[in-house]
Amino acid sequence: MKISTKKIAYMAMLVVLNIILTRIASIRIAIGTIEAIRIGFGGFPVILAGIAMGPMAGGTVGAIGDLIGYWINPMGPYMPHFTLTAALTGVIPGAMIRLFKTEQLGFWHLLVAIAAGQIITSVLLVPYFLYRLFGIPLVYKIVSSCITQVFNIPIYTILAKLILKRLSFSLAQQKVI
């Protein structure tokens, strides 16, 4: 599989955005010494990479963003569970978009792809891992994650639609999509 220099540059930019939005520009609420709630848009660059450049690019951006982000600004002990979750945040929407097999990505295509990824990763996997690793009550974390995703999923969808519309000509011309 050949990856162009331009695609690597786009992926690197999205990794940096992921790190900044996750580690610096997000609100973190701790229960004890463990982060229980994070409000922010750190997952969006990972989702955008998966949708615009494919599931492998989304997974790579998510995993590298998590690893470098941890190295720069650790928020507790390193847990590979969350690196897997970060990778899946990009892989699932990217794979869902590929399943639709359509030339034009509509709002509903994006909404379903993003919702599937966020429900699996943010609503199910993250609370499960926090429960198993740190004992954070599963019901509490699932409820808070659901509330957060009710806002994040439509916002991510609108942002993705706007950005893809603006970039569609240049990305398609460069065969990045």
Prediction pTM value: 0.88
Residue type, 172: A
Regions of the chain with pLDDT less than 70? 1, 31-38, 168-177
CATH 3.90.580.10 fits 5-173, yes or no: no
Spatial separation of the C-alpha atoms in residues 100 and 146, rounded to whole Å: 25
pLDDT at residue 168 in the model: 64
pLDDT of residue 176: 42
Scan for tokens 């220099």, then name that residue.
5
- Give CA–CA dist 164/172, Å, rounded: 10
pLDDT of residue 32: 67
Say how far apart CA 122 and CA 14 lie, in whole Å: 19
Give the pLDDT confidence score for residue 1 in this predicted structure.
64
Per-residue confidence (pLDDT) for residue 35, from 0 to 100: 61
Handedness of CA 131, 135, 137, 141 (dihedral sign): negative
User: Which residue type does 163 have?
Assistant: I
**What per-residue confidence (pLDDT) applies to 55?**
96
What was the pLDDT predicted at 31? 64
Residues 104, 11: Cα–Cα separation, whole Å: 23
Q: What's the pLDDT tens digit per position in 64-81?
A: 999 999 999 887 789 999
